[in-house]
Structure 1
Amino acid sequence: MSITDVDPLSLAVIRGRLEQIADEMDTVFERMAFSPVISDAWDRADGIYSATDGSMIVQGIRGLPIFVGTMQYTVASVLKIVREPRPGDTYLVNDPFAGGTHIMDTKLVRPYFYKGKLFAMLANTGHWTDLGGRVPGGFAAQASDCYQEGLRIPPVRLFTEDTLNTDILAILQTNSRLPDDIMGDVEAQATALRVGDERLTELLDEYGPELVSNVIALLRERSALQMRSYIRDIPDGAYSFTERMDNDGINDEPLDVSVRLTVSGEEMTLDFSESSAPCEGPMNSVYAATVSSAIVAIKHVFPDIPINSGIFDPLSFVIPETVFLNAKPPRPVAGCAAETSQRIITAVMGALAAALPDRVPAGSSATSNNLSIGGVDEDGEQFVMYTFLGGGYGGHQSGDGLSNGCSLMSIGLIQSVETLEQRYPIRVHQYSLRDGSAGPGTFRGGLGVHFEFEYLGKQGRASLLGDQSRTAPVGRMGGQPGAASAPWFRLQGKTVTLPMVSKGENVRITQGDLICMLTPGGGGYGDPARRSKQAMAEDVAAGYTQST
């Protein structure tokens, strides 16, 4: 039997079952996790991968898109060190330089056997709230090497035939400010993989490994063909765009994410070699995250391509080690996944806009405003609060941009106000759309967010790792930019901005202090003069834009 013998009904049913398995893994992980950033904000992903090279077979539709590419690199790194995998073995890795993102994104990888034969790999990623480092939550804006960011773990066997290695667990818990959360998240991730193991066995029992393998191969082939067809629609040529980041957290100099897309027939090369050099601060990206971010950008423009490793086939990447988008140890990389990744996305979309102006929206909020606070609560227990925020999406050819959209590399949500106030010593004063933040255009951008809260604890330390405070989301086709990020702190009655504006660490806060995040609004699409006067008047009256 070959892939040409797969009938359409089997293809549709097995594809749906594979996707359902990944989705159920996501749900189990989410429901069991202790960390609110996983359970409430969905900062996680699960998938099924090739046992040969780690390439992606399927990922859950509710998993973070940034993990689309990175987890297959992580699985490949595990396969390199596994000599004799056994059923029930599960490997732990969070090393950014082994196919990861930043240290807090922790992966478990489990070989899957069917009737004694290795068939696939199951893997998931979850953002653990704290794994040590110089600041609570790990987002050290002034870290100058990766050792200051937390406990870095190469691929190690955490479970042996489903028995937990308590020695490794003890190391993890001892190096975290939240040891109980570590235990809960380990069990949640491992259980999700065991559920995937059970469901995949049910699928193979029903349809047989040969048919399922052929469906997997056919799905990959079809994704590659679909990607090639979209690339053929792009006129041959070279298209460039540069995004400018605020700074690296240590040196107050901008960083350029520069990409040159070269399209030839049905193949595309993405060249990042003109980007800034590796930086001293934590805004460096690793190779896997840069590639994955570029894929997410392409998926924003061509959303109907099924997610599997076939989407990589027509693409080539040039990311030399001379740029900060292919950092090597000991470079710090805390801002890799939530900040630099988003500017890679907007840079690639900007280059695509030069070729396909009708398909690419105006610039969107491209910062997560990673905010973490550590301290001691009223019960005398250590806590670490981590949250991130959405912002406005750009206007597009057929309508206004989305307000309070999630991060471009994510489907993550802000944790609910109720969860934040219950778990941490804060009181939220305002969580609303940000007045006047939308960029005017024929179709205006979406609004950013105004998130303001009071600290109720006695003492604490706040750290912020964000961006886009000095370069706003761009307008397209004559549209105007949206508002830039504008965080501020009110410390002992005095309103201050951080020296680097969007970045700072270990800011001492006391009871009654306020922290406010004002996130970017989306850029406008098209000449504002072409928007109806009534719509423009309504925009101003509702506070969407500043003026007509």
Structure 2
Amino acid sequence: MTRQTTAKAGIMDPITTEIIQSSLTAITDEMFATMRKTAMSSIIYEVLDFGVAMMDAAGNLASSGSGIPGFIGMLEPGVRSVIKKFDPATHVFPGDIFMTNIPHHGGVSHLNDVVLVLPVFVEGQLIAWLANKAHWVDIGGSFPGSISADAVDVYQEGLQLPCIKVIESGKTNQSVLDILAMNSRMPDITIGDFWAGIASMRAGERRLLSLVEKYGFNAVMFAITDYIATGEAMSLKALKALPKGTFKAADITDGGTPICVSISISDTEFLVDLRGNPPQSKDAFNASFDATFVGVQMIYKSIAGSQSVANAGTFRPLKLLVDDDSMFAAQYPAAMSVYYETSIMLFDLMWKALAPILPEFLPAGHYASICGTFMGGPHPETGKNHSIVEPQIGGWGACYDRDGLNALYTGYHGDTFNVPVEIAEQRNGIMIDKLSLNEEPGGEGEFIGGKGINLHYRILHDDWWITMAYVRSKNGPWGLNGGLEGSTNYVSILRKDGSEQQYSSCTAIPLKKDDVVKVATANGGGYGAPKDRPVAKVLEDIKNGYITKERAFEIYGVKNELQ
């Protein structure tokens, strides 16, 4: 490959530049598709609990692919953690691949979310970085699935990978893979997902090098720089259209702890102030600074700018103030395995602060919990140790002009899907007794909140276990303009003997054959006073099973006339 350049006018040609920029997006899309098609675990190939991205040579986000936004946004600091440890001028070479998973050191959410990074070279010059981040089902540690809200430090949560070279100049460090396999309760799945991540990045590398060969080195480098500058210009334009001022919100965690946020918007800056929030906790409800900043990015992206461009320039107007050692910027060795519940609480809190001034963008509160459900044990067909990871879908809040949406993932999830019943039963060795909309009351108003779900897993083998941690288990999603609060998230376990116990958080609780794990996710908050909902709509709600006759009379004063 030669470093042939286009003519000087060609470098600046906007058509060519836009074609190259569209190709950058296509590259990350292909990386995403490759990971999805080659991964071993259903949390990746069905739920799509991963993200991919391309950074420029300095580590700035250049192109983001599909996937969970909270993963994509963290790949930029993930790459920068590699640059910080390994000087690109002297310690990074073609064929190298890096691995990291320690959240306190940058670009990682918790130990399960393993980041892989590949540098791309042209004629010995570093031109870009490709990165992949995916949730691995088990990374060792004290608890099955490497997840526990009760963990007191990161040492209990699994194997730590301190930004290492797992492949050096094309040669795999087999010792690292052996350590990974020996520390995982599901070694075949773990190693399979590792190689899927490698395949994803190598697919992106091939496409990027082909792009350089086709259009020339300088043209591609110009297009990347211009793309980031375009992202910043679009972001500043969108920022100017937002309401100006300082907007605040407060809430109470399920544990009774107050949390708060202040958001200040000017023509040039979107400032989120989290100072004064609680210190990091002695359990796993902690988030890193990078995980918190990604939450800021996501709420900003939902209200400002084109949805088609997301790169380093897009987020340059963002500023975050947070106390060190707080729950939103926990320090090593704080446990973080359920960081996602802390992050979704913050995401929802920022949403709550902005929803009253941006009703066209933000509805009332949604179920606001990842509802990560971890179960495992001997597979009933093979007897091998098996575990599953499933975030759950729930109800979204009502808008100023329509009812909320039923059974969707949170605003934090992005392009994520629930595992189909058929896949869950075929691959995971469980039976789905029920999957329906949540019939509990909550979320009434002029416009009603969307429904959560009831999902019942029947266990088919002894010696299984469940771990989970759901927030919004005490206080339901908030309503707007007089709309009522939604219902709550929880799990109950119905034992074979008929006894039943409800949980908002548990770690490795034993399950036996024919026990039923009953997941309930919240209905979203309502919008507007219930008295303003037309009688015809209330009667339709009764007909559709969204509300009982008794509840309709209690809240709306309407009796069912459909006999």
Change (3 A) 1:5 1:203: closer
Q: Is the 8 A contact 1:395 1:401 kept in 2?
A: yes
Which residue in the other structure is 1:368 paired with? 370
> Does residue 325 of the first structure (1) align with residue 328 of the second (2)?
yes
Change (3 A) 1:481 1:423: same
Which residue in the other structure is 2:49 paired with? 43
- Whole-Å Cα distance in 1 between the matches of residues 484 and 8 of structure 2? 54
- Which of residues 172, 176, 183 is equivalent to 1:164? 172
> Does residue 180 of the first structure (1) align with residue 188 of the second (2)?
yes
AA aligned opposite 1:310: G
CA RMSD of aligned residues (A): 1.9
- Which of residues 344, 350, 358 is equivalent to 1:356? 358
Q: Secondary structure at the match of 1:58?
A: strand
Q: Is the 8 A contact 1:433 1:450 kept in 2?
A: yes
- Report the alpha carbon displacement of residue 469 of structure 1 after superposing the two structures with TM: 0.6
Change (3 A) 1:507 1:28: same
Which residue in the other structure is 1:384 paired with? 387
Which residue in the other structure is 2:13 paired with? 7
Which residue in the other structure is 1:450 paired with? 454
Q: Is the 8 A contact 2:235 2:305 kept in 1?
A: no
AA aligned opposite 2:427: R
Q: Is the 8 A contact 1:3 1:214 kept in 2?
A: no
- Whole-Å Cα distance in 1 between the matches of residues 529 and 394 of structure 2? 22
- Report the alpha carbon displacement of residue 317 of structure 1 after superposing the two structures with TM: 0.7
- Which of residues 138, 142, 146 is equivalent to 2:154? 146
Q: Is the 8 A contact 2:234 2:305 kept in 1?
A: no
Q: TM-score, normalised by structure 2?
A: 0.91
Which residue in the other structure is 1:308 paired with? 311
- Report the alpha carbon displacement of residue 185 of structure 1 after superposing the two structures with TM: 0.7
Q: Is the 8 A contact 2:356 2:480 kept in 1?
A: no
Which residue in the other structure is 1:294 paired with? 296
- Whole-Å Cα distance in 1 between the matches of residues 9 and 509 of structure 2? 59
Q: Deviations over 1:342-401 (max 9, x none)?
A: 111111111222433443211011112211122222433111122111111111134222
Change (3 A) 1:448 1:442: same
Write out aligned runs for 1:401-480 (5 A).
401-410=404-413, 411-436=415-440, 439-480=443-484
Range with greater deviation from structure 2 (206-215 or 505-514): 206-215
- Report the alpha carbon displacement of residue 303 of structure 1 after superposing the two structures with TM: 6.2
Write out aligned runs for 1:50-449 (5 A).
50-52=56-58, 54-60=59-65, 62-83=66-87, 84-98=91-105, 99-246=107-254, 253-302=255-304, 304-305=306-307, 306-337=309-340, 339-378=341-380, 379-410=382-413, 411-436=415-440, 439-449=443-453
Q: Is the 8 A contact 1:34 1:181 kept in 2?
A: yes
- Report the alpha carbon displacement of residue 4 of structure 1 after superposing the two structures with TM: 12
Q: Is the 8 A contact 2:237 2:305 kept in 1?
A: no
- Whole-Å Cα distance in 1 between the matches of residues 318 and 238 of structure 2? 12
Q: Which runs of 5+ in 2 are unaligned?
A: 1-6, 557-563
Q: Is the 8 A contact 1:352 1:360 kept in 2?
A: yes
Taking every aligned residue pair, what percent have the same amino acid on both sides? 28
- Whole-Å Cα distance in 1 between the matches of residues 372 and 143 of structure 2? 13
- Report the alpha carbon displacement of residue 424 of structure 1 after superposing the two structures with TM: 2.5
Change (3 A) 1:124 1:243: farther
- Whole-Å Cα distance in 2 between the matches of residues 416 and 349 of structure 1? 30
- Whole-Å Cα distance in 2 between the matches of residues 398 and 18 of structure 1? 38
Q: Is the 8 A contact 1:234 1:355 kept in 2?
A: no
Change (3 A) 1:256 1:205: farther
Q: Deviations over 1:293-323 (max 9, x none)?
A: 1111122223624110112211111011142
Q: Is the 8 A contact 2:234 2:306 kept in 1?
A: no
- The alignment of Structure 1 onto Structure 2 pairs a total of residues equal to 537
Change (3 A) 1:213 1:88: same
Change (3 A) 1:28 1:484: same
Which residue in the other structure is 2:561 paired with? none
